[in-house]
Amino acid sequence: MTDIPVLSTHRLELRAPEPQDYPDFKATFASYRSRFMGGPLNPYETWMLYAAEIGHWQIRGFGMWMVHLRETGETVGMAGGWQPAKWPEREIAWIIWSDRAGRGYALEATARVRRHLYEDRGWDGAVSYLDPKDLDSIRLCERLGAKKDHSASSVDGHDVCYRHPEPAALKGSQLAHGIEMEIQNYIDPLFKPKGWAID
């Protein structure tokens, strides 16, 4: 059994997918919310995909975490590394349940996942494969500093590839500080970085 670490952020705890998390996963992937990730899926397809989420950890040694709120323990989505068969490169992927969207959870979770994959797993880079109509995910990639890579291989010819900054380009960068400030603003809308004018 792969030892799956628990990752923590200000508001979130990322833990291995467990059987009790399946109902939330099933509800999301059976809904219109999953339209950019191959859905909506029927009950058999959602079961097979969830089994693949768990099995991916065993095969690749990395995978998707369930994203939980630290205060309540409830799940709000998934985020992690992903590279099933036919994926040209290792991907950072995510999905937030529809009733939890718009609160910065995807940014907070993916930023933490990327830091873990870079600093603890030794990844030297990553991509995200997106549907070109998925404007919310494209915007998130841009906020994370990822840029569209026109020369990258496609998964199926219908996706676009966004390439994340390499570890050296992120460490101590203005981008990294900007991501942290945006997360802090989601936590506290009145948050002001030190040195900024109050008015």
pLDDT in tens, 136-165: 999 999 999 999 999 999 999 999 999 999
pLDDT at 72 (0 to 100): 96
Rounded distance between C-alpha atoms, residue 65 and residue 113, angstroms: 9
Rounded distance between C-alpha atoms, residue 114 and residue 144, angstroms: 10
What order do you get walking across the sheet with 127-130 strand by strand? Answer: 7-8, 12-15, 64-69, 75-82, 91-96, 127-130, 160-163, 147-148
Q: How deeply is 40 buried, as exposed, middle or buried, from its count of CB atoms within 10 A (0-12, 13-18, 19+)?
A: middle
- Residue range 2-9: mean pLDDT, rounded: 92
Question: 194 falls in which pLDDT band (50, 70, 90)?
Answer: low
Q: Which candidate, 68, 71, 89, 58, places its Cα nearest to that of 25?
A: 68
- What would you report as the CA-atom Rg of the chain, rounded to the nearest whole angstrom? 17
| pTM for the predicted model, two decimal places | 0.92
Rounded distance between C-alpha atoms, residue 166 and residue 126, angstroms: 8
HEC-encoded secondary structure of 85-111: CCCCCCEEEEEECHHHCCCCHHHHHHH
- Does the structure show a pLDDT above 50 at 197? no
pLDDT 10s digits, 31-83:
988 998 888 999 999 999 999 999 999 999 999 999 999 999 999 999 999 99
Min mean pLDDT across 55-59, 81-85, 119-123, 182-186 is at 182-186
